[in-house]
Amino acid sequence: MCLAVPGKLVAISGDEDGPLCRIGRVAFSGVVKDVNLAFAPEARTGDYVLVHAGLAIAVIDEARAKLTIGDLEAMDTAPDGAGRR
């Protein structure tokens, strides 16, 4: 269950009504949509966020986005990141 799409946060509008109403403008390949940022309080302009049904559910870690199969062949990726090899 889970169509969530990465987009670039290009602007953040005010959250006068509280952090649950913080809205961002997110660009997906040439179209921009308003997205609720309540679940991504750490998101900043320029970040990529993962958007599901109108809400950002994560900020994408771009540094870890470059993982290739070569990297995987060379290392271990247990959730806590502790290397074994």
Residues that bind other proteins (CB under 8 A): 1-8, 20, 27-34, 36, 38-41, 48, 50-55, 57-58, 60-62, 64-65, 67-70, 72-73, 76-80
Region of residue 54 (phi > 0: left; psi between -120 and 50: alpha; otherwise: beta): left
CB of 38 to other proteins, least distance (A): 6
Nearer to other proteins, 15 or 52 (CB): 52
Q: Where are the beta strands (DSSP E) in 3-78?
A: 5-12, 23-28, 31-36, 48-52, 55-59
CB of 20 to other proteins, least distance (A): 7
